[in-house]
Amino acid sequence: MGANFVTRVLEDVRIVALEQFGAGPYGSVHLADLGADVIKIEDPRSGGDIGRYVPPFQEGEDSLFFETFNRNKRSLSLNVTNSAGRGVFEDLVRRSDVVFSNLRGDVPKKMGITYEELRHVNPAIVCCNLSGFGATGPLSSEPGYDYIFQGMAGWMDLTGDPDGPPTKSGLSVVDFSGGLVAAIAVLAGVHAARRDGIGTDCDVSLFDTALSMLTYPATWYLNGGLVPERTRHSAHPSIVPFQAFLTNDHWIVVACAKEKFWRRLCDALRRPDLGDDERFDSFATRRANRDVLIPILDTAFLAKGSAYWLTRLKEFGVPCGPVNTLAEALDEPQALAREMIVTTEHPRFGEVRQVASPVNVVRDERSYRRAPLLNEDARDILFGLLGYDDAAIQELSVAGAFTE
């Protein structure tokens, strides 16, 4: 293999996914984009993944919501609670590396999809479940959703204007972060299974994920009792200035995360005196005198428009950026240069444009295939992968493997 050898880096990994909605599918879509064969098991009793029916832009058994989280995957309608369906499921497990699910914490054991229940089928199988609260603890049997975790983990108390109500993020950040954590767990489990020949369970919790993302504010509190307060204009809790500023036409973000950036900002504002002022000459003094400094900066930025300030600040080497609308973010030259908008063709929606995975392995040859129609890949999976013949499939159908 030469230096220019290119392949799909996960093309030798097969994942059987009992997943739905957002968190689980978001985790596995990154693996599918890297070439993993993600076989999405969809329950015929419920019409498949509930994400197929999320409005807007929803028709029949398809939606743009579903497209977002399920490109590059395959779909098989299978009733795994039926004995015949269970047999098909176990045949898939024999030929796979991972069973991935995002079910309530107590459900995998009840369904028999943990390592203990599947090791006899495949000793190297990795069983990963992404649930709200995990498989243990007093809340393991409770359902959980992103907004709930943003509240429970303290995020909403830290977010928003000081005089406003607790505020959630504009996106389902816990769901998406939990999906990424689950993907990491899957890759770690597969690595160990291939090294040792022994699989494992991966018990990933959205609540754990949200709590872990408290990071340094949690450390401050646990070791010094400091509780960060909500800040005006989304300011950093300890670094000043590091926040949004309103210009005379729009908002921008300025981030002086190093002393040199503060000095450069003073020069860009034509206020070198601020840099020499003992009230503002260090991280500590600027934080202590935030209420004096920020109004001075607010007045300065209001004097001109965002385009002027962004150009000038960049000329002086001050980290900054616009507060974009959704449309502006998707049209950023950097996003286009990084090929972060990808296109697939769909029989119902036509050309579908969406954001790409940020997981960029240079040796990987990126390609994108639309999300599967419900049960679209049954023939390829049953005949091609599992080697069933017509008689076997007819027998399984009669036994209820593929129906309600």
Supply the residues annotated as catalytic.
175
Residue type, 368: Y
Partners of residue 344 on adjacent β-strands: 352
* CA 224 – CA 222 distance, rounded (Å): 6
What DSSP element (H or E) covers 397? helix 390-398
Decide: 80 and 371 in contact? Cβ < 8 Å.
no
Map residue 343 onto helix, strand or coil: strand
Cβ-proximal residues to 229 (8 Å cutoff; 6+ apart), any chain: 162, 237
Partners of residue 76 on adjacent β-strands: 41
Decide: 51 and 20 in contact? Cβ < 8 Å.
yes
Please calculate the CA angle 160-166-169 and round it to the nearest 5 degrees.
Answer: 60
* CA 231 – CA 31 distance, rounded (Å): 37
Rounded-to-10 torsion of CA 238, 239, 240, 244: -100
* CA 287 – CA 349 distance, rounded (Å): 52
